[in-house]
Amino acid sequence: MKDIRSISPSTQICAVIGNPIAHSLSPAIHNAAFAELDLDFVYVACRVEDVKNALAGMRALNNFRGMSVTIPHKIEIMKYVDEIAEVDRSIGSINTVINEQGKLVGLGTDGPGALKSIVDAGVNTDGKSILMLGSGGAARAISFTLARNAKLGELSILDVSENMLQRLTADLRAGTDAFIKSELLTENSLAGAMEDADVIIHCTPVGMHPNKDASLIPAEFFKPEQVIFDIVYTPLETKLLTEAKSRGLKVISGVDMFINQAVLQFERFTGVDAPIEVMRRVVLEHLGP
């Protein structure tokens, strides 16, 4: 956290809003990064119920530079910003607001954070078959980002929720040029999809507390050379990743996506490159055993 004695009228304010918000790691991550680069910024957490007036306050304060947005406000907040990229409108939620001299620009960093994690891992998705498990908010962000920014062979989506699955499938087909397949998630549909998948992206809560000993994918379904990306970041290594590693597969942790979405926010807030290793260290200190 910035030394309170150095906070001045020129200090740029950033905040995370949500309800609840006490659990957020964002203040620790961003303040450590600000301190590392000696930037005149401070980051706080705010429990917010009235999103409309929260953004009115942001607009009125010249030094309120940036806002991170978490549950339950990622959808509603879109109504109160001035500008949103087309891809984020298609996704239907945002997690970041930037105050550009009174103009509020909304954007999402979850999808780009996931794509950065894939690229940083050295995984080439060109022409590859991607299997996504889940069709909720994170899956929407990642699938639209991949469909718009990668030259996929095909994107297959499986989920137990028929309504969400159909909606995401229809939106992707309408809003991207990617070849989209979808099916209800069953043991048979999963087995068939795993046969053809090059990269598997797990976007459901399975593997999180209280189901830390669970995995959607039986280990015998893995194929050589597959890449397994689990967006769950607590625990640090899910059962899915442990079993994939034991089979010699390349894995990408949800911690990478979590850090990268914060890195992309930081760089929009400040206009400078983020100290990624400092941010990673803070996350691991808070999430580690």
DSSP string of 39-93, one letter each residue: -SEEEEEEE-S-HHHHHHHHHH-TTEEEEEE-TT-TTGGGGG-SEE-HHHHHHT-
The arrangement of secondary structure in 4-108+257-287, i.e. its CATH architecture, is: 3-Layer(aba) Sandwich (3.40)
Contact present, 128 and 199 (Cβ < 8 Å): yes
Strands 103-107, 96-100: pairing kind? antiparallel
pLDDT at residue 5, rounded to an integer: 63
Residues whose CB falls within 8 Å of the CB of residue 202, separated by 6 or more in sequence, listed in order: 133, 134, 216, 217, 228, 229, 230, 231, 232, 240
* pLDDT tens-digit series, residues 193-242: 999 999 999 999 999 988 889 999 999 999 999 999 999 999 999 999 99
Which backbone phi and psi does 8 adopt, to 5 degrees?
-140, 175
* CATH code for the domain defined by 111-252: 3.40.50.720
Phi/psi of residue 218, nearest 5 degrees: -60, 140
Q: Does this model's pTM top 0.85? A: yes
Catalytic residue among 2, 52, 74, 250: 74
- Which amino acid type is present at position 191? A
Catalytic, 151? Answer no
Q: What is the per-residue pLDDT for 90? A: 95
List pLDDT tens digits, range 3-30: 766 889 999 999 999 999 999 999 999 9
- Give the rounded distance of the alpha carbon of 19 from its chain centre: 18
**pLDDT exceeds 90 at position 185:** yes
Rounded CA separation 226/209 (Å): 26
| CA-angle at 235, arms to 132 and 215, nearest 5° | 45
Q: How far apart are CA 289 and CA 86, in angstroms?
A: 40
- Predicted pLDDT at 2: 62
pLDDT at 161 over 70: yes
In contact, 4 and 25? CB cutoff 8 Å: no
Tokens of 219: 């280990």
On the question of pLDDT at 145 being above 90, the answer is yes
Q: Taking the CB of residue 222, how many other CB atoms lie within 10 A of it?
A: 20
pLDDT digits (tens, 9 = 90+) for 260-289: 999 999 999 999 999 999 999 999 999 987
What residue has token string 């994170």? 138
What is the CA angle 24-30-35, rounded to 5?
Answer: 140
Other C-beta atoms closer than 10 Å to the C-beta of 246 total 10
DSSP-derived letter for residue 15 is E
Q: How many CB atoms neighbour CB 49 within 10 A?
A: 10
Query: Which H helix or E strand runs over 11?
Result: none
Same fold flag, 4-108+257-287 and 111-252: yes
Domain boundaries, the chain: 4-108+257-287, 111-252
Distance CA 135, CA 229 (A): 15
pLDDT band at 134 (very low <50, low <70, confident <90, very high): very high
Q: What is the pLDDT of residue 209?
A: 83
Kindly tell me if the per-residue pLDDT of 244 is higher than 90. yes
What residues does 228 pair with on adjacent strands? Answer: 200, 251
